[in-house]
């Protein structure tokens, strides 16, 4: 342990799914359940559902050296957030051992550790005290924290009135400036705007390189992981799939895209429509087998539709939204000037984009079908990640949703 600030040894986290068996929740959750049971005692007891176990983490082991910046990557559900909660002492492991040397500051979700009725200033002192800082140390850092968070006008306003962006700016500023030996940051930075994300990455670089402190960084943005991290850990279905150099670990992560990752089964997702859903239904959206979701590479999508009756003049659209809800790209079939007329049956509509202009990052996908301006069927399909492509030589430069292909001409005046 003397060579490491974090040592994770054979850690497993097991959750029980269903109503049977012992609960893995804390005391507060058990008390709440007891109160609910007390007031519902006169009601007929509901039949217990069979329980099953879910392994969020399974025999995970790794070590982190002082001053190391470790990127933790993996697909949704891989166990990244569970691992950070265990490292932050929010939840205990089921089996295994974790040894940590030094104070930890964690930023796992917006407003973690904040009291909503306290002002921003009061929450800075509260968080500092939790981290073991003295009042003198907090006062010395106060102006720097407030300036970094860019909330000077609202520092004496209760944080329950803050927007999510203000929350995350203050939370990160406190965590990064109160000099923890270990800083743990989850994907929460996606809530902030692009300029603030750039500012946070610069601060984490400063914390690691100039101050020699350790940073654990979870992100779906491979460009940020490449820029910030010295090593990377890949989690897959709760297990360690690799740890080592950043580039080889990222390539291993990107190589994990299977056929099931390319296909979103829309029949298992809640749909909405203003017309009779029996008219037509979206059944599947998929990336073509020959394509990857890589920036600057060709992009081909297939949308499968089942029509129970004839539909004339149909329009099918695919929308791409950032994690904070901004639409950055839409593919609508009527833009290509092709009218979609369906008889009863099943059809596949293919969208071909010669060059993907979406910047690397995580995008929420939605799909909809219209006819005569009315919505026939629509749903939030799921999440896909645009990755760095072979033709992308500026992936670490700039922000925004898209970078389009264009020509540049220079003339003397």
Cα 287 to Cα 21, 258, 301, 392, distances in angstroms: 41, 11, 5, 20
Phi, psi of 328 (to 5 degrees): -115, -15
Q: Are 197 and 189 in contact (CB under 8 A)?
A: yes
pLDDT at 112: 63
Contact (Cβ atoms closer than 8 angstroms) between residue 312 and residue 407 = no
Please tell me the least confidently modeled range out of 53-62, 85-94, 358-367. 358-367
| pLDDT surpassing 60 at residue 391 | no
pLDDT of residue 46: 45
Every domain of the chain with CATH number 2.70.50.60 lies at 261-386
The strand pair at 311-321 and 361-371 is best described as: antiparallel
pLDDT tier at 41 (50, 70, 90 boundaries)?
A: very low
Query: What are the C-alpha distances in Å from 206 to residues 71, 200, 228, 296, 410?
Result: 16, 10, 10, 32, 39
Phi, psi (degrees; rounded to nearest 5) at 311? -130, 120
Which whole number is the average pLDDT over 389-403? 60
Place of tokens 């040397």: 101
Q: Nearest CA to 327 among 368, 370, 275, 268?
A: 368
Rounded Cα distance, 194 and 141, in Å? 25
Q: Which helix (H) or strand (E) holds 251?
A: helix 246-254
Given this model, what pLDDT does residue 260 score?
62
Q: What average pLDDT does range 48-63 have in this prediction?
A: 78
3-state secondary structure of 166: helix
The pTM of the full predicted model, rounded to 2 decimals, is 0.62
Q: Answer whether 103's CB lies under 8 Å from 182's CB.
A: yes
Q: Which ranges in the chain are annotated with CATH 3.40.50.300? A: 6-12+57-254
Q: Which residues pair with 367 in a beta bridge?
A: 318, 379
What is the mean pLDDT of the segment spanning 107-128? Answer: 81
Give the count of alpha carbons within 13 A of 295, CB side only: 25
* Cα–Cα distance measured from residue 220 to residue 235, given in angstroms and rounded to the nearest whole number: 12
Q: What percent of the chain has pLDDT over 90?
A: 23
Tens-digit pLDDT profile for residues 66-106: 888 999 988 777 888 889 889 988 889 999 999 998 888 77
**Over 60: is that where the pLDDT of 30 sits?**
no
CATH class of 261-386: mainly beta
CATH tag, 6-12+57-254 = 3.40.50.300
Q: Show the 3-state SS of 53-92.
A: EEEEEEEEEEEECCCCEEEEECCCCCCHHHHHHHHCCCCC
CB 175 within 8 A of CB 124: no
Per residue in 257-285, pLDDT tens?
555 677 888 887 766 654 555 688 899 99
Residue 24: its pLDDT value, please?
Answer: 47
**For 318-360, what is each residue's pLDDT tens digit?**
999 876 678 889 999 998 877 799 999 999 999 999 988 888 7
Enclosing H/E stretch for 120: helix 120-130
Look at the block and give the residue holding tokens 């030094």.
102
Burial of 343 (0-12, 13-18, 19+ CB in 10 A): exposed
């Amino acid at each position: 342990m003397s060579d490491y600030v974090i040592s994770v040894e054979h850690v497993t986290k097991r959750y029980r799914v269903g109503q049977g068996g012992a609960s893995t929740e804390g005391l507060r959750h058990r008390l709440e359940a007891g109160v609910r049971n007390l007031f519902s005692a006169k009601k007929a007891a509901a039949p217990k559902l069979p329980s099953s176990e879910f392994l969020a983490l399974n025999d995970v082991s790794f070590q982190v050296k002082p001053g190391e910046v470790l990127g933790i990557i993996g697909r949704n559900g891989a166990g990244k957030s569970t691992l950070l909660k265990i490292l932050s002492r929010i939840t205990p492991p089921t089996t295994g051992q974790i040894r940590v040397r030094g104070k930890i500051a964690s930023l796992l979700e917006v407003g973690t550790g904040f009291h909503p009725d306290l002002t921003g200033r009061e929450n800075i002192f509260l968080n500092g005290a939790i981290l073991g800082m003295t009042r003198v140390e907090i006062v010395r850092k106060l102006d720097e924290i407030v300036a970094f968070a860019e909330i000077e006008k609202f520092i004496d306003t209760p944080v329950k009135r803050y927007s999510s962006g203000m929350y995350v700016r203050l939370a990160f500023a406190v965590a990064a400036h109160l000099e923890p030996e270990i800083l743990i940051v989850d994907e929460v930075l996606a809530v902030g705007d692009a300029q603030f994300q750039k500012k946070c990455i610069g601060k984490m670089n400063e914390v690691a390189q100039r101050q020699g402190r350790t940073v654990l960084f979870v992100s779906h943005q491979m460009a940020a992981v490449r820029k910030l991290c010295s090593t990377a850990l890949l989690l897959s279905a709760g297990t360690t799939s690799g740890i080592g150099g950043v580039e080889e670990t990222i390539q291993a992560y990107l190589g994990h895209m299977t056929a099931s990752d390319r296909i979103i089964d829309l029949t298992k997702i809640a749909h909405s429509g203003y017309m009779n859903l029996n008219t037509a239904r979206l059944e599947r959206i998929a990336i073509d087998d020959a394509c990857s979701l890589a920036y600057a590479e060709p992009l081909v999508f297939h949308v499968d539709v089942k029509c129970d009756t004839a539909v004339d003049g149909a329009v099918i659209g695919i929308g791409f939204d950032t994690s904070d809800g901004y639409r950055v790209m839409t593919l609508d079939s009527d833009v290509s000037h092709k009218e979609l007329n369906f008889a009863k049956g099943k059809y596949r509509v293919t969208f071909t984009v010669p060059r993907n202009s979406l910047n690397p990052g995580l995008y929420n996908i939605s799909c909809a079908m219209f006819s005569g301006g009315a919505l026939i069927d629509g749903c939030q399909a799921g999440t896909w990640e645009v990755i760095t492509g072979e033709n992308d030589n500026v992936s670490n430069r700039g922000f925004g949703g898209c970078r389009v292909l264009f020509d540049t001409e220079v003339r003397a005046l």
